[in-house]
A and B are shown apart, each in its own frame.
Chain A
Amino acid sequence: MNLRYLTPVISIAASLVFVGIMLAVMGINPVEAYTVMFTRSFGSKFGIAELFVKTTPLILTGLAVAIPLRAGLWNIGAEGQLYMGAFAASVVALKMPLPDLLILPTMFLASALMGMAWAAIPGFLKAKFDLNEIISTLLLNYVAIHWVEYMVYGPLRGKEVYNFPFSDLFSDAATLPRFFGTRFHFGVFIAILIAFIVYYILTKTDFGFSVRVVGANPRAAEYAGISRERVIIYTMLFGGALAGIAGMIEVSGIQLRLRPAISTGYGYAGIPVALLASGNPILVMLSAALFGFLYVGGSALQTTYSVPVAVVYVFQALIVLFIIGGNSLIQRRG
């Protein structure tokens, strides 16, 4: 029996037990609660569509964390990059007079560039001054979130939103097509396609090779004439672009306007998604699906028992912690 494949299963089970205890403390029957989570996710086409819809941003933010992680960098800023991408896409959707056919591609490009620009700051500071990227990417999240708030309270506030801090709804040409009469939208395909492209780039190209060397031993990379600085900046830009695209997909596929709180921690969830997949872009899709399920289940719990969505964070943290614990126990025995 291979323990390595068993650990994730046991970890997920253990997390369910742990959260079950938390639910019980709140006076909620955990078995019932988990039944609700499952039936809401898998019980109807709407549920399954929601699974895809929640998995989509997680694939992208998971990749946004995974790519720099392969070079040994922690991008904790996917959340902020997502917000900035959403902001850029919204500006295009709301303010730029473009032919209908060009709107979505322009939004896509704008969000990728904005996400890149936002990730470029910590990337540059890391490469040039060795400034801790964990702290800088994280702090920039708060700046990005406040920036979007400023926009929807000010310059981008809509005319027909009463006093809510929302932008106007996007025009139809600026929203992603939806299918099956559900919220399942075109962004799902974009994310899956991107995951395959990232896999290809990281494993088959010379860029991917350089990233591997820098991630394995930065000093050896310098010794081999691979510019560590360039790899740091490029992987951060790459990750930032993907998180930015996630932002565009959220506003043009789900929210259909810019508003505060467009992400319920998708950027942070990218960290466990990437870790669970150990940085492999194909596996990122699987782990994103798992966390997507937790999100759908989490909001089912919220509507049924008014349990805060924060419970999803607990799941994420516990699964990763149990897996680390499990792996290190296996290493000790073997």
Chain B
Amino acid sequence: METLLELRNIVKRFGDVIANDHVNLEVRKGEIHGLLGENGAGKTTLMNVLYGIYQPDEGEIIFEGKKVRFKSPKDAISAGIGMVHQHFMLVPRMNVLQNLVLGYRTPSDPLVDVRWVEEKVRKLSRRYGIDIALYEVVMNLSVGEEQRVEILKALFRDVKLLILDEPTAVLTPKEVETLFSALKAMTKSGLTIIFITHKLKEALSVTDRITVLRKGKNVGTVETKKTNERELARMMIGREVVMDIQKPKIEFGSEILKVQDLWVKDDRGQDAVKGVSFSIRSGEIFGVAGVSGNGQKELEEAIAGLRKPFRGKIALDGKDITNLGVAGRKDIAYIPEDRIGVGLAPSLSVMENLFMKDFKNFKKGLTLDFKSMEEEARKLIEEFSVKTPSVHAPASTLSGGNIQRLILAREFSRNPKVIIASQPTRGLDVAGIDYVRRRLIESAEKGCAVLLISEDLDEIFQLSDRIAVMYEGEIRGIIPREKADYETVGYLMAGGMEVAA
């Protein structure tokens, strides 16, 4: 097979951080080439360099035998490269057709030739089996549909190479299957695909060859048929064992958190949580699995006191707390999914972030006692090993893992009875993931009731005592860990109805 694309010795630095360190990549025509690596291994950066979003500091790109330089995505597109980003690049308030045709010159340019677009999309749909309603406004689409629009956007521009960045992160298992068969059909029609992922199973099931990146360097390229999960994991992580946390047996105590028939609306005023009920006991970790956007955010915010439910009851230790605000729920710790946007004030110092919730405890007369606040802060950053030059450094200067440690330090030091942990390890490196999970288990041992909300099934299975699956605002079954398997949970996540236990 001939080579379509070659990246040679690509180097990309951000300040002192080197994101791509002399990376080489060779992609053959008509293959699905997997780009595998952990979060932060430099996969997305490499593809953004290829797509013209970043300029490489060193190295060259050879596409279709010619040396190219893409100053912007525009150049990449006109050369025949399309990219579907992890975070979709759609304009929610425009309809599908407008999103497709954005930046494209139809024959009647500058007017938009709607008939021409319709005709072209019809042909593409027939060829690749992708079907989509052209006049639906994007914000009304499901995530799977949005992804189809993204792929169609690339096909619409007649790309030869399509880059997919973590395309399955937001999909249900069923949608993943549909995507994979569509991708295979596309390569049969001559398209070449680069498939970015950090999931071994996916890389093995859909690709022809796999290149592994680790800490910005490339580890090697292997043929999918000739490799296995073990080898890939070793290449990706650099050591044999992936994760080794043994959860000890913890005696459950009394019922701490009780949620009864809870109904919550989302920002748009739609019902997002529809009659959810569960309870968590002291020492128990209750895992909520499910694809993001099925009401998890609204559920956790309602329990944390950030969002008012319009029906139902939340009780803590037998006391009704439904109508209390955040300040009235001091016993609930909350590790939010959006750590930088919600959990942190990045421009404020580490100390100020540590005591964002409890600064009033330092009140001495009219003023705050900043001296003892500083002492406390020093203790906390030591206890939680937050790496920072000083307690006065702005939180924005910390790395992702240290930001999460800072939040843990704040939340866990308040001796909570309930911990809500939402996607607590997303975007962290192996050491960070390990640390967070151990801390969660430790808290349960101390008698906390833990509500773990995660998209990561491995995490859910590793930590939870009981597993609930959330789908479209409802809990579709609560299964004890020992009776649960990936298949059942995956089935429920995709909207399957409760199975008879």
Chain A residues proximal to chain B, CB less than 8 Å? 200, 204-206, 209-210, 212-213, 216-217, 219-227
Contact = CB atoms under 8 A, between A and B. Distances in A.
A223 B367 contact: no
Contact of B367 (A205, A213, A217, A224): A205
Interface string B344-383: 1111100010001101100100111010000000000000
Contact of B352 (A205, A212, A219, A222): A212
Given A212-B348, A225-B357, A219 B342 contact: yes
B345 A216 contact: yes
Contact of A213 (B305, B334, B345, B368): B345
A206 B326 contact: no
A304 B74 CA distance: 59
Contact of B326 (A209, A212, A217, A223): A223
Contact of A223 (B336, B368, B370): B336
Nearest to A223: B342
Contact of A220 (B325, B345, B370): B345
Nearest to B362: A206
B142 to A, nearest CB: 26
B343 interface: yes
Contacts of A205: 366-368
Contacts of A217: 341, 344-348
30 contacts: A200-B367, A204-B366, A204-B368, A206-B359, A206-B360, A206-B368, A209-B359, A212-B345, A213-B348, A213-B356, A216-B346, A217-B344, A217-B347, A217-B348, A219-B342, A220-B342, A220-B343, A221-B356, A222-B306, A223-B304, A223-B326, A223-B336, A224-B357, A225-B325, A225-B326, A225-B327, A225-B329, A225-B357, A227-B325, A227-B327
Interface residues of B, number: 27
B305 to A, nearest CB: 8
Given A206-B359, A224-B356, A225-B305, 18 more contacts: A204-B367, A205-B366, A205-B367, A206-B363, A209-B368, A210-B359, A213-B345, A213-B348, A216-B346, A217-B347, A217-B348, A220-B342, A220-B343, A220-B344, A223-B336, A226-B356, A227-B325, A227-B327
Contacts of B363: 206
Nearest to B327: A225
Nearest to B394: A216
B341 A219 contact: yes
Contacts of A213: 345, 348, 352, 356
Interface of B: 304-306, 325-327, 329, 334, 336, 341-348, 352, 356-357, 359-360, 363, 366-368, 370
Interface centre among B336, B342, B370 (most CB of A within 10 A): B342
Chain A residues touching B, majority SS: helix
Contacts of B357: 224-225
Contacts of B370: 204
A92 B200 CA distance: 79
Interface centre among A200, A209, A219, A224 (most CB of B within 10 A): A224
Nearest to B368: A206
A317 to B, nearest CB: 27
Nearest to B344: A220
A220 B326 CA distance: 12
B16 to A, nearest CB: 14
Contacts of B325: 225, 227
Contacts of B366: 204-205
A151 B23 CA distance: 76
A253 B131 CA distance: 76
Contacts of B360: 206
A44 B431 CA distance: 70
A221 B327 CA distance: 11
A220 B325 CA distance: 14
A69 to B, nearest CB: 14
Interface centre among A209, A210, A223, A226 (most CB of B within 10 A): A223
B342 to A, nearest CB: 5
B439 to A, nearest CB: 20
Contacts of A210: 359
Contacts of A222: 306, 326
A220 B343 CA distance: 6
A204 B343 CA distance: 24
Contact of A224 (B326, B341, B346, B347): B326
Contacts of A200: 367
Contacts of B305: 225
A83 B341 CA distance: 39
A216 B347 contact: yes
- Sort A-B residue pairs by CB-CB distance and give the 6 closest, nearest first: A225-B326, A216-B345, A225-B327, A217-B345, A204-B367, A224-B356
Contacts of B334: 223
A204 B326 CA distance: 24
A205 to B, nearest CB: 6
Contacts of A204: 366-368, 370
Contacts of A206: 359-360, 363, 368
Nearest to B307: A222
Nearest to A209: B359
Nearest to A218: B345
B359 A223 contact: no
A223 B356 CA distance: 9
A161 to B, nearest CB: 47
B419 to A, nearest CB: 15
Contacts of B359: 206, 209-210
A220 B356 contact: yes
A207 to B, nearest CB: 10
Contacts of A224: 326, 356-357
A306 B493 CA distance: 78
A259 to B, nearest CB: 40
A71 to B, nearest CB: 12
A129 to B, nearest CB: 16
A206 B355 CA distance: 11
Interface centre among A205, A217, A221, A227 (most CB of B within 10 A): A217
A217 B340 CA distance: 9
A245 B35 CA distance: 65
Contacts of A221: 345, 356
B416 to A, nearest CB: 13
Contacts of A219: 341-342
Contacts of B367: 200, 204-205
